[in-house]
Amino acid sequence: MIKKYLLAPGPTQVPPEVLLRMAQPIIHHRSPDFTPVMEEVKEGLKWLFQTQNDVLIMASSGTGAMEGSISNFMSPGDKVITVNGGKFGERWGKICKAFGVNATEIKVEWGEAVDPAVIADLLKKDPSVKGVYVQASETSTGVAHDVKIIGEIVSRYPNTIFVVDAITALGVFDIKPDEWGIDILITGSQKALMLPPGLAFASVSDKAWRMNESAKCSRFYIDFKKERENLKKSTSAYTPAVSLIIGLQYVLRTLKEEGLENIFARHSLLAQATREGVKGFGLELLPKTSPSNAVTAVKAPEGFDGQQIYKRLRERYGITAAGGQDHLKGKIFRISHMGYCDKFDVITAIAGVEMVLKEMGYHGELGSGLKRAEEIFIKNI
Amino acid sequence: MIKKYLLAPGPTQVPPEVLLRMAQPIIHHRSPDFTPVMEEVKEGLKWLFQTQNDVLIMASSGTGAMEGSISNFMSPGDKVITVNGGKFGERWGKICKAFGVNATEIKVEWGEAVDPAVIADLLKKDPSVKGVYVQASETSTGVAHDVKIIGEIVSRYPNTIFVVDAITALGVFDIKPDEWGIDILITGSQKALMLPPGLAFASVSDKAWRMNESAKCSRFYIDFKKERENLKKSTSAYTPAVSLIIGLQYVLRTLKEEGLENIFARHSLLAQATREGVKGFGLELLPKTSPSNAVTAVKAPEGFDGQQIYKRLRERYGITAAGGQDHLKGKIFRISHMGYCDKFDVITAIAGVEMVLKEMGYHGELGSGLKRAEEIFIKNI
């Protein structure tokens, strides 16, 4: 028997209580059975998003909401700025291209955070830019971009919206959309929300809603305005993913019980222990600065293949972490510590990495990473 | 205690075995755990769709696939024919409008089937029409359009595709896309597939793929070509709704065991017993001809409010059926007999209707509808 451990940056582990909750008999979405669920969920999402704005719910992967944050607010030919510091940042550009939106892409080396001054300069040169699109946490590199500072910059421009993909950030670290000038904040179900994939969320500010009025990109299924109108009546434009929303109701209750501060502190501690643990074993992180508390990207040591590390973790130890994507493939591996994760998930991950690399001939000393993680946990209990 | 009975035309009942199957620990979609699931599911879907074409899987409601059947094959300004014989037929026109596609809408009285000759005439007059869009089963009225005959007509035109929304038809009655000239066949998870909502499916013919090459409507999240490329590798373009696909794997196995002929015969029998049952109680069906075996739309008797019947069924007897939509609201109620349904679901529905209407002062004789249903069942066992 090999027990299985899911430590990939999404889907993340779903608590067994939530799985069983979703295994209840299905209910009809246009019936009074479902209305109280939606009412509770829409309030809970506002709490989790730390916003007074409506938080829309869509039956799609997170990419659906990313698309919607462009197609519902832009017209073909509109100018936007996108930050490409990884596979998901790159996706903004691809979506813009698909909708005829004119994107100026800021290319950031994968593994580094964007310099907010670059965005400030571009906006200064061309204030007709209608939107700035960035990740709060770039899942492919484990880097957090400073969305607070960028929000301060963008909010000076009355006709420019600031859109943040927080798919691996919301419920991981503190983001205050209303205070920081984030007009659209996006997340998905299968990350810190501890649910299976299939739901996407987006909060939308009044500034963005005004832009929605004149936005001419084609859209139908992912139509934010239609969803907003339906959300007011605690329903949705099209058939919602009922079972996932039932799970969400329960997840939001447990998150509320834990409290936002505790949730952020937990992720911060787990991330710190993971980073110090792998460094204690002699490994190097991919991010030079500003690592995300959602996922830790670790460089494969010189002469070792990151994909082999990923594979061996799975095959020999039952741990599903993640490898690198695109040109980072083979160069890194990634360990998630978001959502339904605690100290012993981190211990498991570091132990797995130590044993796998030792078997592959790496020089590090077994237990040296674990020791560092334990020291951090003891200090913070 | 009031036990609950879900007899609405989607979401339909999910078998408890499937609910528990989906309650297994979540697995990662880009891992070897998921590959065999996808391999089995893609073969199973071809079997269920009775097609040699790829069947794409999307994380969305059925409307997502309806949108995709337009946005992936048409360019703004292209001419299509849509059949509006109910709420879902009307949706084709709305999607076309959203994408700048020029739709000629055939308005059919809600409750009637389209006359295929009207489509033939329109195509004859203008062979430059690029697509014909129709429902196999119009859920809002309980009417089946004759997609076999329409397929024969459309297939004479080499540059016109035939798109069929079979969201409440696939797995209910016989549809042979490859023989009948159906280029795109669409369904969703929450109907005859007995799963929670959140998955949409579409099979696509070579004729349609050729049209896809030059189609210029904007699209990103719902991109059939990208899904096809990923499906070849038994994966998906974006994070799939993993838990629903795990459920699908199991559902497809049970459907295969039952066999297509038996599945269609079961639905036919349940539909017949429902129709004869309500007629036996003195009620009238909405469809004058060609009722769908998925759902039975019953007229509220003169002087009775259909919404009241729906509400009383729910509140007094725990039965969730459906009312009418838009201008049919109050005029009809609908009983589904698709998916995880058997004889006693029909008996339950008819008994509920009899008791509710009797309480409301209707003249019919209690048991008269049930008797007719029993007679039909006895004859067919």
pLDDT tens across B238-251, in order?
Answer: 999 999 999 999 99
Q: Is the pLDDT of residue A295 over 90?
A: yes
Q: How far is A206 from chain B (nearest CA, A)?
A: 23
| ipTM of the complex, rounded to two decimals | 0.94
| Average pLDDT estimate for A136-157 | 98
**A80 Cβ contact partners less than 8 Å away, ≥ 6 residues apart:** A70, A74, A96, A101, A102, A103, A104, A129, A130, A131, A132, A133
Verify that B225 and B282 share a domain, yes or no: no
Do residues A29 and A163 both lie within one domain? yes
Residue B313 and residue B253 share a domain: no
Same domain, B201 and B273: no
Q: Which domain holds residue B268?
A: 260-380
How many other CB atoms sit within 10 Å of the CB of residue A97? 13
Per-residue pLDDT of A81-128, as tens digits, reads 999 999 999 999 999 999 999 999 999 999 999 999 999 999 999 999
Q: Are residues B24 and B163 in the same domain?
A: yes
Share the mean pLDDT of chain A. Answer: 97
Nearest to A81 by CA among A96, A102, A103, A66: A103
- Count helices and strands (H / E) in chain B: 14, 14
Angle at A242 between CA B70 and CA A35, to 5 degrees: 115
Searching chain A, which residue's CA lies closest to the CA of residue B94? Answer: A220
Residues of A in contact with B66 (CB under 8 A): 221
pLDDT in tens, B330-365: 999 999 999 999 999 999 999 999 999 999 999 999
Distance CA B218, CA B70 (A): 10
In a domain, A2, yes or no: no
CA distance B40 to chain A (A): 20
Q: What is the pLDDT of residue A237?
A: 97
For residue range B126-178, what is the model confidence (pLDDT) as tens digits? Answer: 999 999 999 999 999 999 999 999 999 999 999 999 999 999 999 999 999 99
Q: What was the pLDDT predicted at B37?
A: 98
- CATH code, B332: 3.90.1150.10
Distance from the Cα of residue B239 to its chain's centroid: 25
pLDDT at A247 over 90: yes
User: Do A268 and A250 lie in a common domain?
Assistant: no
pLDDT for B237 equals 97
Domains in chain B: how many in total?
2
Task: Answer yes or no: is A5 within a domain.
Answer: no
Strand bridging mode A184-188 / A199-204: antiparallel
Give the count of beta carbons closer than 10 Å to the beta carbon of residue A13. 20
Are B324 and B184 within one domain?
no
pLDDT score, position B381: 81
Q: Looking at beta carbons, which residues of chain A come within 8 Å of B6?
A: 25-28
Pairwise CA distance, residues A332 & A323, whole Å: 6
**Residues B139 and B86 sit within 8 Å (Cβ to Cβ):** yes
Name the 3-class secondary structure at B96: helix
Check CB contact under 8 Å for A218 and B99: yes
Give me the pLDDT at residue A381, please.
81
Quickly count: other Cβ atoms within 10 Å of residue B344's Cβ.
11
Residue in the structure block whose two tokens are 């709305």:
B94
Same domain? For A160 and A292 the reply is no
Same domain assignment for residues B173 and B322? no
Interface touch A197/B221, C-beta < 8 Å: no
- Across the interface, whether the CB atoms of B28 and A20 are under 8 A apart is answered no
Domain boundary residue, one of B239, B257, B275: B257
Give the per-residue pLDDT at B107. Answer: 98
Q: Which pLDDT score is estimated for A350?
A: 98
Final residue before a domain boundary, out of A257, A276, A292: A257
Tokens 């295929």 found at: B116
Per CB-CB distance under 8 Å, the chain B contacts of A8 are: 28, 31
Nearest chain B residue to A20, by CA: B23
Query: Quick one: pLDDT band at residue B1, thresholds 50, 70, 90?
Result: confident
The residue type of A373 is A
CB contact under 8 A, B198 and A243: yes
Asked if B251 and B306 sit in the same domain, the reply is no
Place A1 in a pLDDT band, splitting at 50, 70 and 90: confident
Same-domain check for residues B70 and B178: yes
pLDDT at site A304: 98
* Residue that terminates a domain, selected from A236, A257, A278: A257
